[in-house]
């Protein structure tokens, strides 16, 4: 891991570099995340934006280990972690200006982690000028991952070497669609607009973990993910993986997703027809 691995900026990471990235994430999970799972308590956690936005030593230490390893591997890349941005918010703005950036969510689903639920993950996104070009969604509990880059389809892999392609669902009629909406994170006025529209859908909830929400979307278990909290460490990897699993991911107003976008509604769906159906159904969210 000490060798510098130059990367041509016109291409995604090589297979060897992707393997080294996965190995780094797995080591950080073994060293800094899993030993703390079900030993850390709510009293050990700090809060950030609100009482349910938790952070623990697992977040801080895993991010530090990942950032050190990535900087050694890619010395000319910008390395941006969720906790680093919490301490210095202007770091987020640097991502869209960087030719090569790695965005780290060291423990996505910290609330679940703190409360002993095995529903959390590590997210790594690679971007070029804010556009996702590689995504990694790693589950430390199962020790498996979903990965994709812009030149290859999304696939799920395990440490045993098994690998299979993943594919989004076929979508369906509005009343049959199942998905995740980050309803509780929306302002009250937005919730009031959205709430009357939810019964028309098959099923809507949230897992408190974007890593697993996007993994399930890519595997065809649900039909969409929608969010208005546009933290790039939550969404950049999932957007790319959704697209490379055959889905459609863009802003509700039609813009392509980019980490520079801080306001709006991000909708990732199984296919174009499903995306358009949901866009029409949620058209009120486009009103000012």
- Three-state DSSP at 259 gives coil
237 close to 136: Cβ distance less than 8 angstroms: yes
Residue environment code for 195-214, b if the CB has 16+ CB neighbours within 10 A, otherwise e: eebeeebeebebbbbbbbbb
Pull the structure tokens for residue 75.
């010395």
CA atoms within 13 Å, Cβ hemisphere of 30: 8
Tell me how crowded residue 189 is: count the other CB atoms within 10 A of its CB: 8
Q: Is the dihedral of CA 76, 82, 87, 91 positive or negative?
A: positive
108 is in an annotated binding site: yes
Question: What residues contact residue 71 under an 8 Å CB cut-off, 6+ apart?
Answer: 77, 79
234 is in an annotated binding site: yes
105 is in an annotated binding site: yes
Q: How far apart are CA 1 and CA 249, in angstroms?
A: 34
Q: What is the chain's percent helix, strand, coil content, to nearest 5?
A: 40, 25, 35
228 is in an annotated binding site: no
Residue with the two structure tokens 């950080």: 28
The secondary structure element, H or E, covering residue 103 is: strand 101-108
Binding-site residues from annotation for Mg(2+): 82, 105, 108, 234
Which residues participate in the annotated binding site? 82, 105, 108, 234
């Amino acid at each position: 891991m000490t060798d510098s691995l130059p990367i041509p900026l016109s291409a995604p990471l090589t297979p060897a570099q992707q393997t080294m990235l996965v190995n780094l994430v797995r080591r950080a999970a073994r060293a800094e995340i899993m030993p703390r799972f079900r030993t850390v308590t709510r009293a050990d956690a700090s809060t950030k934006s609100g009482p349910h936005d938790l952070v623990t030593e697992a977040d801080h230490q895993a991010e530090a280990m990942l950032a050190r390893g990535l900087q050694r591997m890619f010395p000319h890349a910008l390395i941006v972690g969720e906790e680093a941005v919490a301490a210095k918010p202007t770091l987020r703005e640097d991502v869209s200006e960087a030719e090569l950036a790695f965005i780290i969510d060291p423990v996505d689903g910290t609330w679940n982690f703190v409360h002993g639920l095995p529903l959390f993950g590590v997210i790594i996104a690679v971007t070029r000028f804010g556009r996702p070009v590689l995504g990694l969604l790693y589950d430390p509990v199962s020790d498996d991952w979903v990965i994709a880059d812009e030149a290859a389809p999304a696939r799920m892999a395990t440490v045993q070497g098994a690998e299979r392609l993943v594919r989004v669902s076929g979508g369906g009629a509005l009343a049959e669609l199942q998905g995740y909406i980050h309803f509780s994170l929306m302002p009250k006025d937005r919730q009031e607009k959205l709430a009357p529209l939810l019964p028309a859908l098959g099923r809507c909830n949230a897992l408190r973990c974007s890593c697993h929400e996007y993994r399930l979307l890519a595997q065809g278990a649900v039909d969409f993910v929608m969010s208005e909290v546009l933290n790039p460490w939550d969404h950049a990897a999932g957007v790319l993986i959704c697209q490379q699993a055959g889905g459609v991911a863009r802003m509700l107003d039609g813009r392509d997703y980019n980490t520079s976008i801080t306001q709006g509604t991000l909708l990732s769906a199984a296919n174009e027809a499903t995306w358009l159906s949901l866009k029409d159904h949620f058209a009120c969210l486009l009103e000012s």
